[in-house]
Amino acid sequence: MAFVVRIDHTKCSGNGSCCNVCPVEIYEKPHDGKCWVKKEKIKKPIKEKNMQGGACPECIGCTACVSACPAQAITIEEEK
Ligand code: SF4
Ligand code: SF4
């Protein structure tokens, strides 16, 4: 099972909180004012405007990143 990790770049302020809490280091350090899901962690990228991320087999769905994000920019859902 994988979880789909989705970052809304219209909301992300790039403060890096998500990078600091993820136990499986899904996120890159912020650059260009945004954070990013590491390419090598993505099995199937999402292709939606202003969204970055995709299905990540290593994500355990703990939602620590969602709780840590001050901008409500992250969503985690089970891959269908
Ligand atoms: S839900 Fe947990 S494991 Fe998945 S990206 Fe967020 S912090 Fe990392
Ligand atoms: S915690 Fe939220 S606002 Fe901060 S870098 Fe991560 S996604 Fe962006």
Domains recognised in the chain with CATH numbers? 3-78 (3.30.70.20)
Q: Is the full-model pTM beyond 0.85?
A: yes
With a 6 Å cutoff on the Cβ, whether 72 touches ligand 1 is: no
Taking only the tens place, the pLDDT of each residue in 3-60 is 999 999 999 999 999 999 999 999 999 999 999 999 999 999 999 999 999 999 999 9
Q: What is the DSSP letter of 43?
A: S
Around ligand 2, the residues with Cβ closer than 6 Å are 7, 12-18, 30, 35, 68-71, 73-74
SS3 content of the chain, % helix, strand, coil (to 5): 15, 35, 50
68 close to ligand 1 (CB < 6 Angstrom): no
Nearest-angstrom CA–CA distance, 33 and 45: 20
> Which one-letter DSSP state was computed for residue 48?
-
Structure tokens at 14: 């790039």
Distance CA 75, CA 8 (A): 8
